[in-house]
Amino acid sequence: EADIYQTPRYLVIGTGKKITLECSQTMGHDKMYWYQQDPGMELHLIHYSYGVNSTEKGDLSSESTVSRIRTEHFPLTLESARPSHTSQYLCASSEYSDGLAKNIQYFGAGTRLSVL
């Protein structure tokens, strides 16, 4: 059973506000990811991290930023929220297993963000 937590689950906020979406995992995984998903669409990777102080942008350009100061914590920040940021944001983590990159990513429940 995966232990990865996202808060808040739902967030409705006005344009221009700064927001931080929290993601924590208790599995000691080095690798963590942020995905963005719109209804009926695929998950798009927007950020990933291979460990502390390591962050990279994903395949989908995003105005959000991330930090990885502790292994277990990977928060995502939007400095100035806009209606175009309305979406679901999913956090995931993974580890290598048995010397092979099985890449099983474990997901949190997600944060559904609505920017008015």
Partner 1 sequence: DQQVKQNSPSLSVQEGRISILNCDYTNSMFDYFLWYKKYPAEGPTFLISISSIKDKNEDGRFTVFLNKSAKHLSLHIVPSQPGDSAVYFCAASPNFGNEKLTFGTGTRLTIIP
Chosen residue from 81, 92, 113, 115 binding partner 1 by CB under 8 A: 92
Using the rule CB under 8 A, which residue among 3, 8, 12, 41 binds partner 1? Answer: 41
90 part of the interface to partner 1, by CB under 8 A? yes
To 5 degrees, how large is the angle CA 23–CA 3–CA 36?
A: 40
The pair phi, psi for residue 77, each rounded to 5°, is -125, 135
Binding status of residue 101 toward partner 1 by CB under 8 A: yes
Q: Which stretch binds partner 1 (CB under 8 A): 14-22, 61-69, 71-79, 103-111?
A: 103-111
Question: Taking CA 110 as the corner, what is the angle to CA 104 and CA 112, rounded to the nearest 5 degrees?
Answer: 150
Q: Is 38 or 79 the residue whose CB approaches partner 1 more closely?
A: 38
Query: Which range, of 12-20, 34-42, 60-68, 77-85, touches partner 1 by CB under 8 A?
Result: 34-42
110 near partner 1, rule: CB under 8 A: yes
Q: Is the dihedral of CA 25, 30, 31, 34 positive or negative?
A: positive
SS3 68: coil
